[in-house]
Structure 1
Amino acid sequence: MMRVGPLGCVMAAWIVGAVLCAAALAQERPAGEVRVWNSDVLAPQEDILGYDAQKPLGPIRIVGARGGTFSGKVVVGCPGTLKGVSARAAELTQTGGTGRIGTDRIQVRYALVGLWESWQKISKAISRFDVLAERPPEEVRPHVSRRKSPREAWIPPGRAILPVWVTVSVPPDVPAGDYTGTVTLTLPGGTTRVPVRLTVCDYTLPDPKHWRTWSELIQSPDTLSLVYHVPLWSEKHWRLIDRSMAYVAAMGTRSCYIPLIAETNLGNAESMVRWRRKGPGKYTYDFSVMERYLDVTEKHLGRPGIVVFQVWDNFLEGGRFSGDIKFETKQTKAERLAYRGKGPEVTRVDAGGRVSGELLPPYSDAKAHALWKPLTEALLRRLARRGLKEAAALGMVTDSEPTKAVVDLWRSLLPGVGWVRHAHGSRKELHGVPYRYQLQVWHLRFANPNRTAEYHGWHRADLVGHLARDLRANFPMLTFRYLGEMNIGGAARGFGRFGADFWPVREDARVGIHGGWGALVSDGRFPKSSWRNLNVRLSFLAPGPDGALATARYEMLREGVQECEARIVIDEALLEGRITGALAERCRKLLNARDTAMIRGFNITNPDDYFANFVWYCSPGKAGEDGILWHARSDWQKRSGDLFTAAGQVAATRRRPH
């Protein structure tokens, strides 16, 4: 069992302290009146304000579709310390039908405060209760204000609050319709039964392996090793990786990153292919770590669409040694400039199994080809056996690019293999080699009710996604819910370069505006490979007792991507002219209404103005709260239900005989 501290930190033996912000603990005092109230998953201010509203307790409302995962919640709170709360869900039965959803498809979790960043950026629109613990807390202590702040004044002090999330994984074969059940809350002094009402729309979502929205979470093996204090590639480490990868797969991620060099921006201390000396300048290659990582990846993701082999970073030839380096930390500048002119470092293993770093010649050196050629030949054979040869790509390019000599070497080693770029802008090619996959910060168009019929980002031929550089955990829940749809309804295939489990690994470090302070493995663990504000700073999972846990943000992101899949079914049918008449007109209006609601929710007054539009993911504080709070009152669940229902009607047109 765990102990939960005040609003602002989680004091638990199994939650790593570096993940959570510090706050003063209240002196424990007995609980006052325990109340239970409803709260909207997209209106997290109700978690706190609902205590005083004293509205009649209604059902937990959930709207979804077959094959998807959807959540609702109820909140328990009291003055003083809250103890002994737990919850149990009963099966859901179809109203007027035979459908049943068993308890094995219903998960009850307990939302704990878990934002390690400043949590006051948007006062009433962010979820402070982010970590979804799978076991009930032993106690929840009340909130104590850490500082005098007008942004915190609306939060009543001295109350303990525990949102209880109910998440349903809807089977792909249940009948559509309304389902009802209960969640029984065990509380101090008794129990409370809360009705659950689930609407299953007549549409079946595809398996996440087949989602068309590009939704990328990157897994960090080194973070797990550091946070849980387990050796790299030990059996305990592999179990942690396996758990994280299951969450990555459930988000529809179809990429995988394999570092062939050490100390890249993703924070890897070692290369996944190990080198063994067999004589002067000669090596054999140990692929065992890479092979097992691909085994875990394929177990959960299926066959990934892209496997990025990291062979370059910005401390190698062509890296950032001048210009914007002036914005970086002193340590970053010193280490990168000291490294200039050197080649990549790889991991060498000796006969006794001991590992160390091995510095190789620069790629422009004539010796480089002979060193890397046997490795790449063996690599291609292994990929071919897995059916992954066509998935291979080279990385990682950022705002700085490798020199022509570097690109020419890898073109000779891996002919026809494209590069991957995560940067502020995009390019068509790299010294004559096409980019296989790109993420960019700027100059993308987002969903716009004035352009609904024109924008079809999911349909573009090239794989270009959005790198929401400034998105942080303390942004409104609305941002995470619509991150996918703002892009696929705009001009991008989706989003990427978010962490799954890139958690803080140092308590004495911070994340500065230009990065490189070492709080995260991608934010200065190896200062020479810092990408400044393009470091991976946002993760959607949290550390739990046995590995990764989901967060409220993760669940909202996933629900949003599921809605993207339904939208794509409709938009594709409209583009291809497969639906006409009243159904087509209704679908056009539905998509436009969704764009209108998103833009209003983000308080964007002129969606045609790029600089007014991008604040939804860059600086929501500039947009204010009015739109976000409006959205919470706008019956967004009806829009979700209408979307899934229309997608089902469109999908049915494919099954009808001509």
Structure 2
Amino acid sequence: MNVLAVEIRASDVHPVALAGRKNWKTPHQGDVSWSHGQLWAMEVRSAGGVPSVLTRPEGVRVWAEDMHRIIISSEFLAEGVSPAPLRFVGAPNGSFSGQIVVSTDRALTGLKATPGKLASADGAVIPAGALKAFAMTPHRLDEWRTLGWGRGGMPHCTNPLVTPASMALVRHGPRGTAGMTRERRIEELKKLSFFDHVAAGPQAPLPAGTSRPIWVTLRVPADAKGGTYRGRIRIEAAGMKPASVPVEAEIHGWRVPGPRGFQANAALEQSPYGVAKQYGARLWSDEHFRLMEASFRQLGRIGNDWVNIPIISLTEFGNMRDSMVRWIRRRDGTLAFDYAALDRYLDLAVRRLGKPRVINFIVMQGCGENRWSDVDILDEATGRRTTKNLYHTADDFADLWRRFARSLYGHMRSRGLERSMHWGFLWDSVGDSELPGVLASATPEVGWTSAAHRGKERFYVKAYSQLLPFRLTEKSMMGWRKKEFHVLLPRGGGSLIAGPGVAFPFNFRLMVDRALVVGMNGVGRMGADYWGDTYIKGVRAEGFLRAGMPNHFMLWPGPDGAEPSARFMALIEGFQEAEARIFLEQQLVRKVLPEKLANKVREVLYEHHRGTLFIPSMNAAHTRAELCRDWQD
């Protein structure tokens, strides 16, 4: 066998690429994602008699794959390529994942993965039950766009030929795709599937000429000893000879805290309206709450700290004319508020998340002077609902908002949640310039939320996301020390990292670490379950340069509620790694480490950060995200 090996050594990232702004004075004209090491072209030719790596080999092939790689249904392992072990690098009390791919030239049924125990050389054992195998549900390539990109919202995500789908078609579709018409390429997308959806159900039959990954998660016992553990996973199905995949787990001694103990903030957004629309459930019915339980159960895995409660109609959150708080005009003319739906929703959130740090009551749409602030008021005497615009031009604007604010604050205080209460939602501008002052006169203790490009732009904002500008340097700003709730908005066009729904999983692993390095304390503005055409549905005005939410859903709809994506599983590991960074930086701040060990810790943290700078800031950088293959080393 002849082997040709090529090593590419890239330079460090140019300072312009880390400057936190577009540099329009350079020949790159603002492009900060140029390659710092690249192989332009290479050919290996054979005189004949050698099997082509472009042809699916005969039989069934089984191999381990990195958790960050999205598998396409037509993939296969080329002839002559030896599979590597399924490898985990983790710590006690943490959750770590990988994939096993099965490729076949014949139909397979009853596909099954059976993990065995893992054992170390000194006799320590991780039981087989710590390894769990999950099916992965295929989704057509033309559906990739629905995950979201740009500023988000399905009206802005209509192109099925998004970057990852186009890449998959060129690599794994029929030859000659580059010369096809756009219409033909879109049709070809419908014939292939991608695997991002980690499902709870059984493995489906595997058609001939296709491949399918099995998702494997190792939940390391909290009392596991450090060391290297080895074992095997048996793969079997009707129509194939059973295969045995070697497993290797490198376990370190530091213990991962539980999600409710995470110090980094998670601000993913759960959508009651996305869930109701997906399953056809009546809003706030028993069935609706049962289905939402699955979403909150998943969000509890990252210790999610944020929930949205729309009060006005037609917000970006897809609530249309609905609100969890009912406004009622009593027979005597006084105003009352029904908190039944709100209370049940908060009960669910607190049960699964603990007390959220931010409960975001949407009383304003944050674009320009948005003259729509509608609430529906039920007349107790007539049973009729009327729409009241509570923009500041209304005669009773201040009186009604103060009544509502005082009532809601008292109700939240009775539940012990008044410190979580925030008013929202600002973008780059304020939708009603007089409302913040009116609410401050009634509830001076309550701050505001925003999702502006440049973060906090008004003194009364206490919880916010930010898109730009940032400057990545070798020095960590230790964002965990910040008291305010300040999280990354990971949209393309920003200056830190892009995490649209169509990004590859490694971006989601990395974004929490980067947020801490530049001085923020978490990540947010990503949808958990804005399924269907929900996000910004019905919003009357998007304003100028809406910062937006580039990620519609990190969770997939399963038969019985939300199920995780590969992206979400990578985000879980990203939060775990962030806690390791926080722990180490806290030891350095407290100066409790011997000098030699402290220097080693600084070096490890620096190299961890430096080693990921090949992921640029301005876009999802799919081809560069694929260069993460040595992340476990």
Question: TM-score range with shorter-chain normalisation?
Answer: 0.7 to 0.9
Distance change >3 Å, CA 46–CA 241, structure 1 → 2: closer
* Whole-angstrom CA distance in 2 between matches of 1:46 and 1:40: 14
How far the C-alpha of 1:263 sits from its partner, in A, is 2.0
How many Å separate the matches in 1 of 2:559 and 2:544?
31
Q: Aligned partners of 2:221 and 2:390: how far apart in 1? A: 55
In the aligned structure 2, how far is the partner of 1:47 from the partner of 1:178?
A: 33
Confirm whether residue 463 of structure 1 aligns to residue 485 of structure 2: yes
Which residue matches 2:418? Answer: 389
1:237/1:290 CA distance change after superposition, 3 Å: same
- 1:438 is aligned with what amino acid? Y
Specify whether residues 171 and 346 from structure 1 end up closer, same or farther in structure 2 by C-alpha distance, changes over 3 A only.
farther
1:241-640 correspondence runs (5 A): 241-269=292-320, 270-279=322-331, 281-314=333-366, 318-319=368-369, 340=371, 342-346=372-376, 348=378, 358-429=387-458, 433-446=459-472, 448=473, 451-452=474-475, 454-470=476-492, 471-503=499-531, 505=532, 520-528=533-541, 534-538=547-551, 539-600=553-614, 602=615, 613-615=616-618, 618-620=619-621, 625=623, 627-632=624-629, 634=630, 636-638=631-633
Listed one character per residue, the Cα deviations across residues 404-459 of structure 1 (whole Å, up to 9, x for unaligned) are 42111111221121111101123342xxx52101212111234x4xx23x532332
Deviation of 1:120 (Å): 5.4
The answer to whether the Cα contact below 8 Å between 1:423 and 1:534 also exists between their aligned partners in 2 is yes
Match of 1:138 in 2: 204
The code of the aligned residue for 1:222 comes to: Y
Quick check: 1:311–1:396 contact (8 Å CA) kept in 2?
Answer: yes
1:53–1:112 Cα change, 3 Å: farther
Aligned partner of 1:417: which letter?
Answer: V
**Cα distance between partner residues in 2 of 1:421 and 1:385:** 26
Out of 239, 245, 251, the residue aligned to residue 200 of structure 1 is 251
Q: Provide the rounded CA distance (Å) in 1 between the counterparts of 2:381 and 2:102.
A: 58
> Alignment partner for residue 266 of structure 2, among 197, 215, 218?
215
Change (3 A) 1:310 1:46: closer
Q: Distance in 2 between matches of 1:403 and 1:46?
A: 48
Name the aligned partner's letter for residue 357 of structure 2. G
Residue by residue, what CA displacement relative to the aligned partner does 1:286-327 show, whole Å, maximum 9, x if unpaired?
101110111011111111111111111147xx535xxxxxxx
Aligned counterpart, 1:330:
none
- Cα RMSD of the aligned pairs, angstroms, is 3.0
User: Contact 1:86 / 1:186 at 8 angstroms: preserved in 2?
Assistant: yes
Aligned pair partner of 1:39 in 28, 50, 65: 65
Look up the match of 1:121: 163
Aligned equivalents of 1:92, 1:357: Cα separation in 2: 64
Q: Specify the code of the residue in structure 1 equivalent to 2:466.
A: Q
- Distance between the aligned counterparts of 2:120 and 2:327, measured in 1? 59
Question: Does the Cα contact within 8 Å between 1:37 and 1:50 map onto a contact in 2?
Answer: no
Task: Report the secondary structure of 1:582's partner residue.
Answer: helix
Report the CA distance shift for 1:305/1:629 in structure 2 as closer, same or farther (over 3 A).
closer
Q: 1:365 to 1:444 in 2, by over 3 A?
A: same
Residues 235-257 of structure 1, C-alpha deviation per residue, up to 9 Å, x if partnerless?
11101111101111212211121
Q: Is the 8 A contact 1:64 1:199 kept in 2?
A: yes
Q: Any gaps of 5 or more consecutive residues in structure 2?
A: 1-56, 146-159, 173-192, 493-498
Residue identity (%): 26
- 1:185-216: CA deviation from partner (whole Å, max 9, x where unpaired): 22223422323222221111111112122222
* Deviation by residue 1:87-135 (Cα, 9 ceiling, x = unmatched): 23334445423443352x4321122333531465153799931011222
Return the alpha-carbon distance in structure 2 between the equivalents of residues 531 and 132 of structure 1. 37
Cα-to-partner distance string for 1:497-525 (whole Å, 9 max, x where unaligned) = 1000112x2xxxxxxxxxxxxxx322333
Indicate how the Cα distance of structure 1 residues 303 and 314 shifts in structure 2: closer, same or farther if over 3 A, else same.
closer
**Structure 2 residue 90 is the aligned partner of structure 1 residue 64:** yes
Aligned counterparts of 1:133 and 1:528: Cα–Cα separation in 2? 37
Q: TM-score, normalised by structure 1?
A: 0.74
Report the CA distance shift for 1:68/1:530 in structure 2 as closer, same or farther (over 3 A): farther
State which drifts further: 78-87 or 403-412: 78-87
Q: Which has the higher contact order (CA 8 A, sep 6+)?
A: 2
SS in 1 for 2:330: strand
* 1:541–1:551 Cα contact (<8 Å) kept: yes
User: Which is worse superposed, 361-370 or 464-473?
Assistant: 361-370
Supply the AA of the counterpart residue of 1:631. C
d(CA) in 1 for partners of 2:297, 2:355: 14
Contact 2:313 2:373 in 1 (8 A): no
Q: 1:46 to 1:58 in 2, by over 3 A?
A: farther
Aligned AA (2:510): Y
Distance 1:427 1:474 in 2: 27
Displacement after TM superposition at 1:274 (Å): 0.8
Counterpart position of 2:189 = none
User: Structure 2 matches for 1:171-190, cutoff 5 A?
Assistant: 171-187=221-237, 188-190=239-241
In structure 2, the CA distance between the partners of 1:287 and 1:94, relative to structure 1 (3 Å rule), is farther
Candidates 206, 213, 219, aligned match of 1:169: 219
Is 1:109 aligned to residue 104 of structure 2?
no
Rounded to whole Å, the distance in 2 between the matches of 1:186 and 1:559 is: 29
Counterparts of 1:93 and 1:262, CA distance in 2: 57
Q: What does residue 647 of structure 1 align with?
A: none
Q: CA separation of 1:357/1:588 partners in 2, compared to 1, >3 Å: closer, same or farther?
A: farther
Question: Residues 50, 581 of structure 1: CA spacing in aligned structure 2 closer, same or farther, 3 A cutoff?
Answer: farther
In structure 1, runs of 5+ residues without a counterpart are: 1-30, 143-158, 321-339, 506-519, 603-612, 639-658
The Cα offsets for residues 349-373 of structure 1, whole Å up to 9 and x where unpaired, read as 8699x89563244345342343344
